[in-house]
Amino acid sequence: MIWFRLLSRLPFPVLYGVADLLYLLGYYVAGYRRKVIAANIAKAFPEKSPAWQQETIRLFYRNLADIIVETLKLLTIPEKELRKRVQIRNPEVLLHHLNRGQSIIVMTAHQGNWEWLLQGCALYLDYDVDAVYRPLQNQFFNQLMLDIRSRFGPFPVPMQQLPRELISRRPVVRIIAMVADQAPAPEMAHWLTFLNQDTPFFMGAAKIAMRTGYPVLFTWMRRVRRGYYEVEMAPVAVPPYPSDAVEKITGHYAATVESIIRQRPAEWLWSHKRWKHRR
């Protein structure tokens, strides 16, 4: 762990030099998950030319390299520095509910730098943030990510412990943050057409909203320039919820994520096997 902390203390220009090296190795030498990335982009954008697809692949590798070093930097980055680099454009969308004593569910995706998104929002908002996560199998890296994700106050909650935490922390006015674009087990999923693919989606956030009566919001980020991001919020659904709210909330989320991916395709996490399941 100490080596990662020492590396994290390097200034940004040096870290981005490391990112450039990672990009060259990942794209030109190792070809990290190259087949998965290429197949995902080709299926999602069949109307685009091979040259466009290839350029998106290249830009994705560069984006991923930046995310790696930026995430590592969270171990030691000063609070003032992160505040400067992550700007929230419309926090009033969240504060409208929180300031009235209403906890909220915030859904996001593996787009932009989702680790900076979590910490940036935790710094800006004077409320607890419960960050729901899927534990890693490797204990060392799981602990490393826990240290990173709790750096500026978020409360990491393993996915399997979420029902218990919902009960025990119910009196706390807080944000329940969920990255909801991972691939769930097909028998537990709501299936939608997403980026031209038959795609399973988690229904957990929508079901929690139904059971708790919490409003649901979506948040995403865009890179302004290297190392600087803007965050934007948007409402998804508010109570009282109709009987088909789970399907509507999940569908709204999927459509919003797809729209953002189509605007900035290289900034989504194409290296995960999003379409490994079949209905």
pLDDT in tens, the chain (279 residues): 788 999 899 999 999 999 999 999 999 999 889 999 999 999 999 999 999 999 999 999 999 999 999 999 999 999 999 999 999 999 999 999 999 999 999 999 999 999 999 999 999 988 999 999 999 999 999 999 999 999 999 999 998 899 899 989 999 999 999 999 988 888 889 999 999 999 999 999 999 999 999 999 999 999 999 999 999 999 999 999 999 999 999 999 999 999 999 999 999 999 998 898 888
Q: What is the DSSP string of 154-222?
A: -EEEEGGGHHHHHHHTTTS-EEEEEE--S---GGG-EEEEETTEEEEE--HHHHHHHHH---EEEEEEE
Residue 274 lies in a domain: no
Residue 279 lies in a domain: no
Residue 31 lies in a domain: yes
Q: What is the DSSP letter of 130?
A: E
Task: Give the span between the Cα atoms of 109 and 3, in whole angstroms.
Answer: 29
Measured N-to-C along each axis, helices 12-24 and 50-73 cross at an angle, to the nearest 10 degrees, of 140
Assess contact for 245 and 271: CB atoms under 8 A. no
Residue 272 lies in a domain: no
Residue 242 confidence (pLDDT)? 94
Domain assignment of residue 85, given as a range:
2-267
Residue 275 lies in a domain: no
Residue 172 confidence (pLDDT)? 93
Assess contact for 258 and 195: CB atoms under 8 A. yes
Residue 273 lies in a domain: no
Instruction: Quote helix, strand, coil % in the chain, to nearest 5.
Output: 50, 20, 30
Assess contact for 63 and 266: CB atoms under 8 A. yes
Task: Give the span between the Cα atoms of 133 and 113, in whole angstroms.
Answer: 15
Residue 70 confidence (pLDDT)? 98
Task: Give the span between the Cα atoms of 208 and 99, in whole angstroms.
Answer: 21
Q: Within 10 Å of residue 245's Cβ, how many Cβ atoms?
A: 17
Rounded to two decimals, the pTM is: 0.93
Residue 194 lies in a domain: yes
Segments of the chain assigned E as strands: 86-88, 104-108, 128-133, 155-158, 174-179, 190-194, 197-201, 216-225, 228-237
Q: What is the DSSP letter of 271?
A: T
As for how many domains the chain has, the answer is 1
Assess contact for 23 and 32: CB atoms under 8 A. no
* CA nearest to 235, candidates 117, 129, 115, 104: 104
| CATH at residue 18 | 3.40.1130
Sheet of 228-237: strand order equals: 86-88, 228-237, 216-225, 104-108, 174-179, 128-133, 155-158
Residue 131 lies in a domain: yes
